[in-house]
Chain A
Amino acid sequence: MTEPLIEMKNVETTDEAIIQMKGIEKHFGSVIALSGVSLDVVPGECHCLLGDNGAGKSTFIKTMSGVHKPSAGEIYFEGKPMNFARPRDAISAGIATVYQDLAMIPLMSVTRNFFMGNEPTKKIAGISFFDHDHANEVTMKEMKEMGINLRSPDQAVGTLSGGERQTVAIARAVHFGAKVLILDEPTSALGVRQTANVLATVDRVRKHGIGVVFITHNVRHAMAVGDRYTVLDRGKTLGTAKRGEITPEELQNLMAGGQELATLEGSLGGTV
């Protein structure tokens, strides 16, 4: 392949890693989506997972979050081997995933979205009720902390901007005790200001000691918040680099598979 490969080290499995994925393979019939991907996440770091379209990023994080079962490979969560049968298992273990376009349901209120799948209940005369008062209170408080000013907790999520929706989803994951937060291209559909807000949120979450897996194909966004960078290409890990060990240009070239982009970039004046 290409030259910059050498600059990236192979994955070192650290003892403190909260989640370790080793040699993950995933086959869909005759299609090999992943052929040996390894990655680990340390609490309090932002680990960026980069790769071009079709590199296997989505399949990989779906394996991590229990949507897909790996065809081969091992997953260790807090040092113990893990086998997630359903997304629910991963969620209860503390792995939360925020999907780009599937984070929120626009027709439902912010509160209903926030507590979706984790509804608080109170018993009145032996009958279990959704505790709306408590839920509204918590939602308003959490939103304020994240810098979103809600008109009322009954407000439909559809009235929020894309960045705000991502923020609500992240706040939700943190509130429900996520130890690993997987963000699937949270910034790809956002404007400049909203992107900045989401990146600030990622930074805040990281400081709470949560391990963040940040999936993107935008090198600049990765550079802004990442502590480590892993590049995927055609279902394989090209390697992992620490912050400061790699330049944005090198990352960009790795993602695109090398030289082709270099020539293309020349004609575009380095704007990609």
Chain B
Amino acid sequence: MSQTEQTPIATDERVKEMSDFHKALIRPELGSICGVILVFVFFFLTARDSGMFSPAGVLNWSIVSAQFIIIAVGACLLMIAGEFDLSVGSMIGFSGMSIALLSVSFGWPVWLAIIVTFVLCMAIGGLNGWLVIKTGLPSFIVTLAFLFILRGLTIFAAIATTRKTIIGGVKDVAEGDWLAPIFGGKVLTGLFQWMGDHGWIETFTRGTREGQPVVDGIPMLMVWALILVIFGHWLLTKTKFGNWIFASGGDAQAARYVGVPVNRVKITMFMFTAFCACVFATAQVMEFGSAGADRGLLKEFEAIISVVIGGALLTGGYGSVIGAALGAIVFGVVQQGLFFAGVESSLFRVFLGVILLLAVILNTYIRRMITGEK
């Protein structure tokens, strides 16, 4: 035994040199990078003349993609930590309604309504996580319960207080508020006006907005998406906490044994998912100027699909925020692109099902490759 210790270990002849292709294949983002390229090539060939790649067209699918990105970042980190949240869609409806009710019906200042809603949503997210940890039940069941509880409460609260399921007038009360523009405003408006003045981008030629550019700024929604992706990516790959997220999802018991506070990590991730849903809802309410009790329907699945297209494993412990963001872009571009290409929109769901299946098959194959299973 002591002999083998001393001999310097040469390269193991049984370990094959890894090809670059193989190395690239085990990166979680690979599938979604290919997806993004494919989708853009496809629509560039089929829908180039439809205005999809004009500034207004780009803004159209970028906003939809940004919406998906915002909820996908939360779902991604939570999935890597080994849990699901099926209540994201209901949470969007709930938080939107909460902001509208507090500000319009109760007459609170909009900034206070937004802050209180964020606190409330994150508390519910925390409750979700706490229940999952304390009961030991799958998060699938616990959050499914909250999918119904929150949706029911949203409709009930709207009807009980205003006898309507859609509450408008948020735009009027948000006028002059300091916090509302952070969710509903636009940035770089000066730059776009300047580009319009120079004739570099399209401007209105008629009507009250004559001379103004068609695209007059970047919506804050997109800024939020960018910030959340950068934050999520940094948190996951560059921090201590990120390592705990991977560990909690990879094997919670093994992580506990080496002192990782798994419960705290999971509950925090549930709260972060709720935070993302709340950002989505607030931006939506500020943009539309109204809240509807049915907002956010099926968003939880769209978030999960984006994350899976992005290469994360449903079982946790593996994935990437960049991948999830790219998955969300594929999702958004295809949804809007089919419209531009004049394809029957019901086919979008067919596409969704097919791509989800392909992504899961690819991910399972990649997982086997990483762990060396046969």
Residues of A within 8 A of B (CB): 65, 67, 87-88, 91-92, 97, 99, 102-108, 112, 115-119, 121, 128-130, 132, 144, 147-149, 151, 156, 158-159, 196-197, 199-200, 203-204
Q: Which residues of chain B are within 8 angstroms of A159 by Cβ–Cβ distance?
A: 370-372
B175 beta carbon closer than 8 Å to chain A = no
B256 beta carbon closer than 8 Å to chain A = yes
Q: If A99-B254, A112-B243 touch, does A130 touch B238 (CB 8 Å cutoff)? A: yes
B253 beta carbon closer than 8 Å to chain A = yes
Q: Which residues of chain B are within 8 angstroms of A144 by Cβ–Cβ distance?
A: 9
The answer to whether B371 and A130 touch across the interface, beta carbons within 8 angstroms, is no
Contact residues, B6-41 vs A (CB, 8 A): 9-12, 15, 18, 26
The answer to whether A88 and B250 touch across the interface, beta carbons within 8 angstroms, is no
The answer to whether A117 and B239 touch across the interface, beta carbons within 8 angstroms, is no
Q: Which residues of chain A are within 8 angstroms of B244 by Cβ–Cβ distance?
A: 117
A156–B26 alpha-carbon span in the complex (Å): 10
The answer to whether B258 and A147 touch across the interface, beta carbons within 8 angstroms, is no
B313 to chain A, nearest CB (A): 8
Listed A/B pairs (5) with beta-carbon separation below 8 Å:
A105-B250, A105-B251, A108-B317, A118-B259, A151-B18
The answer to whether A108 and B4 touch across the interface, beta carbons within 8 angstroms, is no
B366 to chain A, nearest CB (A): 11
Query: Which of B12, B239, B247 is within 8 Å of A108, CB to CB?
Result: B247
Indicate the size class of the contact surface on chain B: 35 or more
Q: Which residues of chain A are within 8 angstroms of B254 by Cβ–Cβ distance?
A: 99, 102-105
The answer to whether A107 and B250 touch across the interface, beta carbons within 8 angstroms, is yes
Q: If A200-B5, A203-B1 touch, does A119 touch B372 (CB 8 Å cutoff)? A: no
The answer to whether B258 and A91 touch across the interface, beta carbons within 8 angstroms, is yes
Query: Which of B2, B255, B259, B367 is within 8 Å of A107, CB to CB?
Result: B367
B74 beta carbon closer than 8 Å to chain A = no
The answer to whether B1 and A115 touch across the interface, beta carbons within 8 angstroms, is no
Question: Considering only CB atoms, which chain A residue lies closest to B246 in the complex?
Answer: A108
Question: Considering only CB atoms, which chain A residue lies closest to B7 in the complex?
Answer: A147
The answer to whether A147 and B250 touch across the interface, beta carbons within 8 angstroms, is no
Question: Considering only CB atoms, which chain B residue lies closest to A124 in the complex?
Answer: B238
For the complex with contacts A130-B239, A149-B9, 17 further pairs of A-B residues with Cβ separation under 8 Å are A67-B257, A87-B259, A88-B259, A91-B259, A102-B251, A102-B253, A102-B254, A102-B257, A103-B254, A108-B246, A116-B258, A117-B244, A117-B255, A147-B5, A158-B372, A199-B1, A200-B5
A234–B370 alpha-carbon span in the complex (Å): 42
Question: Considering only CB atoms, which chain A residue lies closest to B260 in the complex?
Answer: A117
Query: Which of A103, A128, A149, A199 is within 8 Å of B240, CB to CB?
Result: A128
The answer to whether A107 and B370 touch across the interface, beta carbons within 8 angstroms, is yes
Shortest beta-carbon contacts, A-B, top 3? A158-B371, A105-B250, A119-B240
Q: Which residues of chain A are within 8 angstroms of B237 by Cβ–Cβ distance?
A: 130
A65–B259 alpha-carbon span in the complex (Å): 11
Question: Considering only CB atoms, which chain A residue lies closest to B18 in the complex?
Answer: A151
Q: Which residues of chain A are within 8 angstroms of B259 by Cβ–Cβ distance?
A: 87-88, 91-92, 117-118
* B 220-257 to A, binary, CB cutoff 8 A, 1 in contact else 0: 00000000000000000111101110110011011111
B210 beta carbon closer than 8 Å to chain A = no
B258 to chain A, nearest CB (A): 4
A149–B256 alpha-carbon span in the complex (Å): 28
Q: Which residues of chain B are within 8 angstroms of A116 by Cβ–Cβ distance?
A: 243, 247, 255, 258, 260
A123–B157 alpha-carbon span in the complex (Å): 47
Q: Which residues of chain A are within 8 angstroms of B247 by Cβ–Cβ distance?
A: 105, 108, 112, 116-117
The answer to whether B12 and A149 touch across the interface, beta carbons within 8 angstroms, is yes
B373 beta carbon closer than 8 Å to chain A = yes
The answer to whether A196 and B371 touch across the interface, beta carbons within 8 angstroms, is no
B222 to chain A, nearest CB (A): 24
Question: Considering only CB atoms, which chain A residue lies closest to B16 in the complex?
Answer: A151
Q: If A107-B367, A203-B1 touch, does A158 touch B240 (CB 8 Å cutoff)? A: no
A106–B247 alpha-carbon span in the complex (Å): 10
Q: Which residues of chain A are within 8 angstroms of B260 by Cβ–Cβ distance?
A: 116-117
Q: If A128-B240, A149-B12, A156-B370 touch, does A117 touch B250 (CB 8 Å cutoff)? A: no
Query: Which of B4, B26, B373 is within 8 Å of A147, CB to CB?
Result: B4
A22 to chain B, nearest CB (A): 25
Q: Which residues of chain B are within 8 angstroms of A117 by Cβ–Cβ distance?
A: 244, 247, 255, 258-260
A268–B38 alpha-carbon span in the complex (Å): 65
B94 to chain A, nearest CB (A): 33
Q: Which residues of chain A are within 8 angstroms of B258 by Cβ–Cβ distance?
A: 91, 116-118
B318 beta carbon closer than 8 Å to chain A = yes
A151–B26 alpha-carbon span in the complex (Å): 15
Q: If A121-B240, A129-B238 touch, does A106 touch B257 (CB 8 Å cutoff)? A: no
Q: Which residues of chain B are within 8 angstroms of A130 by Cβ–Cβ distance?
A: 237-240, 242-243
A144–B242 alpha-carbon span in the complex (Å): 27
